[in-house]
Each structure stands twice: as structure tokens, then as C-alpha cells.
Structure 1
Amino acid sequence: MAQVSEATRAKVADEIRFDILQGVPEGENDLKRSQIARTFICLPHHILPVPTKEMYSYALQASLGDDISSALEAHIAKITGKRGGSFHAIRPPYTVLCDYRAHIFKYEAGGAGFHSGAAVTPVIPSNGHHLTLDDVQANMVYGPEIAYAPTEVIALENTLNGTIIPQDEVIAISEFAHSKGIKMHLDGARIWHVAAETGISLKELVEPFDTVSLCFSKGLGAPIGSCLVGTKEYITRARRIRKLFGGGMRQTGLLSGSVAYALTYHFPLLPRVHALAHKLEKSLEDIGVTILSPAETCMIFYDAGSIGTTYDEIAERGAALPEPLFLGGSRLVLHIQTTEAAVSDFTKLIATIAEEKRKTGFVKPEVKVNGHQDVYVRRAH
């Protein structure tokens, strides 16, 4: 091999070099955290809250070896009680039954079909809140009819848009599913909120399910990471599939340390979030805002039209405040970094807009039409 000059090596190194901090203003992260404290938007690509300085300080002390990740996995297995048993691989054609609002149906880019070949049966809850055993039984596909792909998995999400599925309903669905040889999966991205609100242990909440996914970012504020729990055989197969897709992580101490911090110090903060959401809901109702979905945990859905305005107007005026509020759409998401001041400022903004609309002649009728939401009208003076 021909000799390579130091100048040539330096040129290559210079091409590769990248300073990600260049151009980043001093205090940028502090600014972002202050903005997050006044942000009520949580999108699939925009997760709240964000890691804190204390979390990173704790995580930096974690081991650089992969053993810390194993310790974290063992802890999650312990608190969920998912050990032992057997798992039989499901192969297409089959369907996954879920709520029509479920993330696996609406927001995962068709991942169920792409990755597993499964179809999805989205079901609208008859009670408007959560799937019931009657809903599941009415939409099951099983039997010898070859024209239909049989239901092999029932996937529930808890919370779903901040609402909690009653545990007795979960158990009823699970008992029925297992009597038919059907698997139960839980999208437990926000199961932490359920545990914090109900006082039911994580182990009890997930016991009816064969597999459970848990997110450490949503609600808890770790920088990255979800965990899949199930039987030993299932997890072995899941690891193999992850490797098949090129997955795998090394030197996970920083991430595992962040998760440990979130479990220890952020989980206990969730009841305050729920209380703040209840306070905001009551304030909005006092102003005259129609609540579409109440604050069971950390989310509220409200109708901007009920005070004669639009979500765009609210977002624009929130962004124009001296200390901006970041808003969008009907969903308000509160989190452990949401401040009392942000909630107060949002309430004042809504009250101001509502009063302005009333002065221009907007009236919200008290009656409902055909059982649907209120019909809103504008009346001249």
C-alpha cells in the first residue's frame, strides 16, 4: 500500500469533522426547556416532557457497560411480572383488533401491516370512551370462513388520549380473548399515568396482557426508549427480529441511567400533572368552553367553536404573548414541566377571546340538537 501523507489524512479528517455546537447560542437548552414548560402540543414526532439537567447529571454516573441495560430490563420485568410461559408465533393472514383512535392504527405509518402482514380491525367504542367486551365480541373474526382473516390479537391502549380503560373491562376482554386462544397486547406508552392516577400497581395493570410496550419518554421525560415485555420465548424472538432489522444498542448506560432517574424522580410528579389538568378543565368550563374529553389524566380535548373562535386564532394569539404559549388543535397535553403560570396564562387568553366574541354577538345555545354537540350561532346586536 502506498504511503499516505499526514496532509492527506488531515484533509480527510477535516472533511469528516462536524461541530454540532457551532452556531448554538449560549443557554439554548435553557430556552428550550422554558418553552416546553409553556407547550401544550404533543405530536407523534414531538414528545413531552424533555430531559432535565438533573437527569443527565444522574445518567452520566451510570456504567458504560451493557450490564446496566440488563439490570434495567430485569427491573422492568420485575415490576410488570412478565416472566416465563410460552409464546406461539402468529403468521399472516390475521387481524389485530383495536380502538379506531389507537396509535398502532393511526400514527405508526401502517407498521402493523408492513412489519407483520397483519390487517387491522379498528373499532369505534359504543360508549364513546373505551372498548368494551361487547364491542370486541361484535367485531371479532373467527371460524372456518376463509374469506376473512381471523382475529389473532386484541390490542388495547391505556391511556388512550389521556383516558383510562376500567381495569374490570380489561380483565373481561382478556378472559374472553384467552378463552378463544387470542393474544392480548397493551400499548402502555402512558400506562404510568394510569398507575399514578388509580394507585393500581403496574404488575396488576399489565397482568391481563401477553405482551406490553412501555415508553420512557412520554410522561416520564427520558431522552429515548421504549421497552417490550412478555414471556421469555417472546422476548427472545423479538430480539432476533430486532437484529433482523439491524437493531441493537451499545454502551447504553447514559440512556438506562436516564430511564432509572425518570422512574425514580419523575413518576411521582404525575399526580400533580393530573391535578393541574383538572384545574384547567374547570377553568375552561367556567369560561363557557365545551369539553369534548375530560381530564382523566394529562389531556383535555376542548371545542374552540364553543366560544366562537378557532384553534388557529388561539394558537396565533398564544404565540404572540410576551411569553409565548405553544398551542395547536383541540388537544391540550400537560406534563411534568408544565407550569402553573402557563396554565393561568392560557386560561386568561381563552377568557379574553370568549369575552371578545360575546361582545361581537356570539351566543352559545344551552340546548343540544339530536343528542349531538351544541350548535353555535352568531347573533347581531
Structure 2
Amino acid sequence: MIVDLRSDTVTKPTPAMHQAMMQAEVGDDVFGEDPSVINLEKKCATLLGLDAAVFCPSGTMTNQIGIKINTQPYDEVICYKGSHIYKYEGGGVAGNSLASVRLLEGDRGRISVKEIEANINNINDAHLPITSVVSLENTVVREAGSYYTLGQIKSVSEFARSKGLKMHLDGARLFNALVETGDKASEYGKYFDSISICLSKGLGAPVGSVLVCKKELENKARRMRKALGGGMRQAGFLAAAASYALDNHIGRLKEDHARAQVLGKELSQLAWIKSVMPVDTNIVIFSVEDATTPENILVQLNQEQVKAIKFGPQEIRLVTHLDFDDKMLDKTIQVLKKIKV
């Protein structure tokens, strides 16, 4: 039995999802003629309370488009110092948008009004980039899936907009946050100009993310998708999988969170573990004692067919997901208990 906890991107379509894909009605999406893509985009826009949506191959693309359509060259984006848009998208904010980033400390990745206020540049000072966007991440991948409540987002958004700033959300794992907070997804549109959601992580679709945005930004978003090479033709097979995921896989995310909680608790009792970050959703990040290394631990895990990844100098990350069940959880715990340092 192989247990793959490297990411929630490793999931494979369920039989029912396969069936939905094979029954999909398709057309040429670049011409705007794929019924399944149109259906998915409408579904996502309605779900999040905004006017338009654009289906893309990846979350990196939807984030990069979101930043691009809300900025001009020489602008600056305010975000958490460990944000995916900054750390894990190949320098895309600089390369695609010609913008700089202002990195904030945050509380486990959640940035506050006070921090933002202290980091808005004086627009009349030609030495400084123009602050134009605040980008939030929910959940925060670098902080073991910590999340914002809608109340926290409301405060940040209202302040940012009072200063003339746009709001972008990297919501790659937004639904993991929503099943914990109980907040309504449809309320999110009030507080953002663009929202990126990923369908190929915890929701289990094979490919795809959607950028949900204001209607006036849609044409810009589609143009940028084309420029970045993201225009797909008969993409309805993928869109059908994404729609199935939205209809059937949101509620079960709680199961992933429960298994992650068990892993976190078991890890905290092992002698070779230095610390475990709080486990809020489906991501478990832990540090190993100085007497060993992540590489040593990962070799031993791999020998037992348990896959994980290094996530820092002394850190390892585990991510629970649709294809990780209770039998795999039991196996993982037993393997972890056998680790030698």
C-alpha cells in the first residue's frame, strides 16, 4: 500500500467523476463555446458572489492573472511573507506584472489592518512603488492550513478599499477554510476584486483552477490567460470533473481535517519530533530534532512506501486528502513510530 501525503494535488478522479467527465458536452472554449466550461464558470461566479469567472489550467495561473489585472507596472502588492504568490510561483509577480511585493509577518500568515496600514506607501513619493493590491491567502499553506474568518477578511477589505486598494484572494484551499468557519462562500465576493480557487487539491479534480472576478475585469483576465498560454480547447472534460467536485466533495473535507488532527497528535508524542504546528485543516507541518534531518526521515518513510516532502531546513509536510483513508492513516502512524534517528 502506497501512502502519498506529499500534497492534496496527488488525488485521482473517483469512478463517479470519471463518468461525469466522459458524459461532458464539449466545444472550443477559446471561442467561448464549451458548454461544460461555461457551466463551471457560472457555477463558480454564483458560488462566490461575483459576476464572472475564467477557467484556467492551474492555481498559479489564476493567481498571476488576478495580480496582473489589478496592478500596473511599478505597483506594489502587500502580502504575507510566506504567501504562495511570492514564494512558490516562480517570481511571477515580478515577471508577469512588473510589480514588487511588500512582505508582512502576519499571525500565522493572517495579516492585519494594523500591519497593512503601516506598509502603504506614500503615493506622492516618487522613490516608492505605488501600493495597489492587498493579497490574502486562505488557507495559508506555509502555516499548516491556518485560515481567516469572514469577519477578519471583512475588516481587512474595508480598510484596504478605504485607501483605494484592490483585493485579491488566493483561495486554493478556500473550501477547507469554509467547512471549518461555516462562513458562506457567497459572501466572499463582497470583499475581493478577484478570487482564485483550485479544484485539483482537496476537491479531487484532476486539473484546473478558476479565477472569479468582477465583470469589468473578465476581458483582461481572458486576455492574460491567452498570453500565458492557458487557453484550452475542448476543456469541458476537465470542467465537468471540476463541477462534479464542487457538487460532491466539499462536505467531505472535514474527514481530511480529522485525519490530519490525528497525525498531528501522534507526531507530537514522538521523541524525534521537535515541534508540530497547530493543525487547523488538512496540512501537517512538523520540525525534527537537530540530531536528525528531514532527509533521513524521508528516506525511512519512503522505504515503507509513505511519501512526504521537506518543507524547510528541519521541516516535513504531510497533507491529507480524498485518497487518504483510515487504513492509510493507521499505516502512516505505525511507520512514524518505527522511525530511527
Letter in 1 for 2:6: I
CA drift at 1:89: 5.9
Give the whole-Å Cα distance in 1 for the aligned partners of 2:98 and 2:334. 50
- Number of the residue aligned with 1:55: 17
Match of 1:186, SS state, is strand
Listed one character per residue, the Cα deviations across residues 299-353 of structure 1 (whole Å, up to 9, x for unaligned) are 11111217x43322221112222xx111222211111111222222222233233
- Number of the residue aligned with 1:297: 281
Q: How does 1:343-354 map onto structure 2 within 5 Å? A: 343-353=329-339
Give the whole-Å Cα distance in 1 for the aligned partners of 2:333 and 2:175. 27
The root-mean-square deviation of aligned C-alpha atoms, in Å, is 2.0
- Number of the residue aligned with 2:55: none
8 Å Cα contact 1:196/1:270 also seen in 2: yes
Listed one character per residue, the Cα deviations across residues 186-219 of structure 1 (whole Å, up to 9, x for unaligned) are 0011101011222212112443111101111111
- Number of the residue aligned with 1:226: 209
More strand by share: 2
- Number of the residue aligned with 1:317: 300
Q: Structure 2 regions of 5+ residues with no counterpart? A: 28-33, 53-68, 311-315
CA drift at 1:243: 2.8
CA drift at 1:234: 0.3
Structure 2 residue 97 is the aligned partner of structure 1 residue 111: no
Match of 1:92, SS state, is coil
Give the whole-Å Cα distance in 1 for the aligned partners of 2:235 and 2:276. 41
- Number of the residue aligned with 2:31: none
CA drift at 1:47: 2.3
Higher relative contact order, structure no. (Cα contacts within 8 Å, ≥ 6 residues apart): 2
Q: How does 1:165-180 map onto structure 2 within 5 Å? A: 165-180=148-163
Structure 2 residue 180 is the aligned partner of structure 1 residue 197: yes
Match of 1:287, SS state, is coil
Letter in 1 for 2:79: C
- Number of the residue aligned with 1:40: 5
Give the whole-Å Cα distance in 2 for the aligned partners of 1:294 and 1:164. 11
Cα 1:287/1:158, change in 2 over 3 Å: same
Give the whole-Å Cα distance in 1 for the aligned partners of 2:176 and 2:248. 14
Letter in 2 for 1:81: G
8 Å Cα contact 1:213/1:227 also seen in 2: yes
Letter in 2 for 1:301: I
Selected match of 1:151 from 131, 154, 169 = 131
Give the whole-Å Cα distance in 1 for the aligned partners of 2:308 and 2:70. 43
What's the TM-score, normalizing by structure 2? 0.85
Cα 1:104/1:314, change in 2 over 3 Å: same
Selected match of 1:331 from 295, 317, 322 = 317
8 Å Cα contact 1:325/1:342 also seen in 2: no
- Number of the residue aligned with 2:39: 71
Letter in 2 for 1:133: V
Give the whole-Å Cα distance in 1 for the aligned partners of 2:11 and 2:179. 17
Aligned length: 310
Letter in 2 for 1:70: I
Give the whole-Å Cα distance in 2 for the aligned partners of 1:240 and 1:165. 31
8 Å Cα contact 1:188/1:213 also seen in 2: yes
Give the whole-Å Cα distance in 2 for the aligned partners of 1:336 and 1:298. 11
8 Å Cα contact 1:133/1:169 also seen in 2: no
Give the whole-Å Cα distance in 1 for the aligned partners of 2:4 and 2:232. 31
Give the whole-Å Cα distance in 2 for the aligned partners of 1:190 and 1:232. 23
Structure 2 residue 83 is the aligned partner of structure 1 residue 102: yes
Larger Rg: 1
Selected match of 1:83 from 51, 55, 80 = 51
Structure 2 residue 327 is the aligned partner of structure 1 residue 341: yes
- Number of the residue aligned with 1:92: 73
Give the whole-Å Cα distance in 2 for the aligned partners of 1:41 and 1:195. 23
Moved more, 283-292 or 297-306: 283-292
CA drift at 1:184: 0.4
8 Å Cα contact 1:281/1:291 also seen in 2: no
CA drift at 1:290: 4.0
What's the TM-score, normalizing by structure 1? 0.76
Structure 2 residue 115 is the aligned partner of structure 1 residue 135: yes
Q: Structure 1 regions of 5+ residues with no counterpart? A: 1-33, 358-381
Identity %: 33
- Number of the residue aligned with 1:369: none
- Number of the residue aligned with 2:30: none
Letter in 2 for 1:304: V
